Amino acid sequence: MINRSNRFKQVELNIAGSSVFGRYPKIDSEKTYNMFISDGWIVPYAGYQTAVSAYDLGMGANPGKKGRAIHTSTKLNKLITVIDSRVYLVDIFFDQNIQQTFDTSETLIGNLLTTSGTVYIAENNKPQVLISDGISLYLYDQTLTPQFQQISTTFKPGFIDFHDTYFLCAASEDSFYTPPANNTWRLSDSNNGLSWPDDSAHIGLIQTKPDDTQAIVRFPSRGNMILVMGKTVTESWFDLGLQLFPYQRNTSFNIDYGCINPATVAATDEIVVWLAQNEKSGPIIVYTTGQMPEKITTDGIDYLFSQLSNPEDSQGFIYRQDGHLIYHINFYTDNLSLFYDFNTKKFYHASDENLNYFIANEVAFFNNQYYFVTKNNGNIYAFDTIFNTYDGKEIPRIRVCKNIRLPSQEYFIANDAGFTIEQGEIPYQQQSLGDAFFITEDDKFVITEGDDIFLVTELGDFLETENENLLLSEQQDVDSFEYLIFEQESNTGTSDLSLPHVDLSISMDGGQGFSSDFPYYLNAPGLRKNRLMWWQLGASNDLVCQFKFWGLGRFVATNGVLNIRQ
């Protein structure tokens, strides 16, 4: 027990927090990367591993391949994926116990005319699979010859969906009208994706405002309701089975926000969420349960969005992970990824291993496992919180806590900081550290390769040399040496980031700049002492703590305490 005088005061260190987005950094600089709050603790966001490689799909090892779409076909009981121009039926099984895929099969069913851009997929009950690449429609039907074919239409197709036996398609450059109209949306014939008649029984119009059609979305859990989205307005329509045109617009209600990019529209459970705008508002994220829209972005996020150079270059998806309903959105040009947890109503940052945008384009659930494709390559990835790496690469998990200030604005001395964390779960020997150095009896450095094991005391503390280098266990292929040294910075680029540890860096100016990192290495497996402590943090009147969680295992932590005195 540590005895402290009455001059000490405890201040909460909010480890379990989100990305808050103050209008300016001085207001609030809180950020959380690749972690989120669950039951009052901060836990890892989902990682991923390759389930089907581009090589297995016959695409070769060319890194220029692009994953464009993935869809779960309920009727065919297959995943439908589009990589570059190729369309595949994929059958895949995932074993949760060993975290490996097995018995996969991939069948090429057709080719699109395009090799890049967003692709939309829907299916009906026949079953027919309809694909739109923004230029043409394509249909896959196992009862037809050929089974995969391009459909000739008088309009340029966009977003597609299925509802009440009809395929729905956002249309532009519609030659049925003179001059061609961009405010139309089209219906296929009932259960026939090959037929798109040019008549009033199959053509709908956005009517509330002058607008261009962006998307037509079947509203989940609302029976015969659909949403017709333009760029500045969204209308609700209902299938009443009318003869002239089966759908009728709700004349007493509309949403005064349209859609910036139909690729950001996502729907599940009882909500539809999208990146919205209108003629008087810049980009915001809204959702609706069929009534008036709810804005989930704050003024700080709205300000961030207003600074984006190209918000149109974006894509979003929604999924449920471990009971949390999550909407994830990527801004590719602006190199930004965010996700929103509807359970806690909080935003977080996501990234790849280099702190660039998160690579997932779209997520599909199949055989009790999530999968995604990415525009970065031609692989299909399994996506889950059981994966603690990005396909074997270390995930940067970062928590920037809220500013610590006194109401008087006076300076204080931060004596120590600490919080509770799960330890003793990450096995060191499974983490490859690459090259390591050791010193022989004649003081010569020698390099070995492989998975090295660090020496620890019975209390779990690392053994170090006088120069604070970590000691490694004796190697079987070394005849004689005094001790092994793992170099944190060396000419070979060897790094100890694979060891499980938490780094603390301090900002004395409210989060504008941070100090160098002070690492705390976690305990070896089985040693579950759960408190981390840092001492003598310095004097400030606007202190921000930044924690970086490094390792190839999971990290589970909760709020802590900063002890200060004046």
Q: Would you state the pLDDT for residue 438?
A: 41
H-assigned helices in 118-244: none
The answer to whether 327 and 273 have CB atoms below 8 angstroms apart is yes
The three-point CA angle 436-437-438 to 5° equals 130
Residue type, 339: F
Peptide bond into 179 cis (omega under 30): yes
Query: Which domains, and CATH codes, for the chain?
Result: 47-384 (2.130.10.10)
Q: 3-class secondary structure for 297-308?
A: CCHHHHHHHHCC
> Would you state the structure tokens that stand for residue 63, as one six-digit string?
């890194």
Q: Would you state the pLDDT for residue 466?
A: 60
DSSP 46: P
- For all residues of the chain together, what is the average pLDDT? 86
> Would you state the structure tokens that stand for residue 147, as one six-digit string?
């089974």
Residue type, 502: V
Q: Which tens digits make up the pLDDT trace of 301-315?
A: 999 999 999 999 999
Q: Which residue has the tokens 């055989």?
A: 367
The three-point CA angle 394-397-398 to 5° equals 145
Measure CA 498 to chain center.
23
Phi, psi of 370 (to 5 degrees): -85, 145
Q: Would you state the pLDDT for residue 120?
A: 98
Q: How far apart are CA 363 and CA 366, in angstroms?
A: 10
Q: Would you state the pLDDT for residue 28?
A: 84
Q: Would you state the pLDDT for residue 23?
A: 83
Q: What Å distances lie between residue 507 and 27, 88, 325, 400, 561, CA to CA? A: 15, 50, 34, 10, 17
> Would you state the structure tokens that stand for residue 474, as one six-digit string?
């004796």
Q: Would you state the pLDDT for residue 473?
A: 52
The string of DSSP codes covering 191-211 is TBTT----STTSEEE--SSS-
> Would you state the structure tokens that stand for residue 374, as one six-digit string?
């990415």
Q: Would you state the pLDDT for residue 432?
A: 46
Q: Would you state the pLDDT for residue 74?
A: 95
The answer to whether 267 and 273 have CB atoms below 8 angstroms apart is yes
Low-confidence ranges of the chain (pLDDT < 50): 429-454, 458-460, 474-497
Q: How far apart are CA 301 and CA 100, in angstroms?
A: 38
Phi, psi of 430 (to 5 degrees): -90, 0
Q: What Å distances lie between residue 432 and 352, 428, 435, 437, 495, CA to CA? A: 20, 9, 9, 14, 10
Q: Give the start-end residues of each E strand in 342-377.
A: 346-349, 360-366, 369-374
Q: Which tens digits make up the pLDDT trace of 403-418?
A: 999 888 899 999 999 9
Q: How far apart are CA 423 and CA 522, in angstroms?
A: 6
Q: How far apart are CA 498 and CA 415, in angstroms?
A: 29
β-bridge mates for residue 532, sequence order: 419
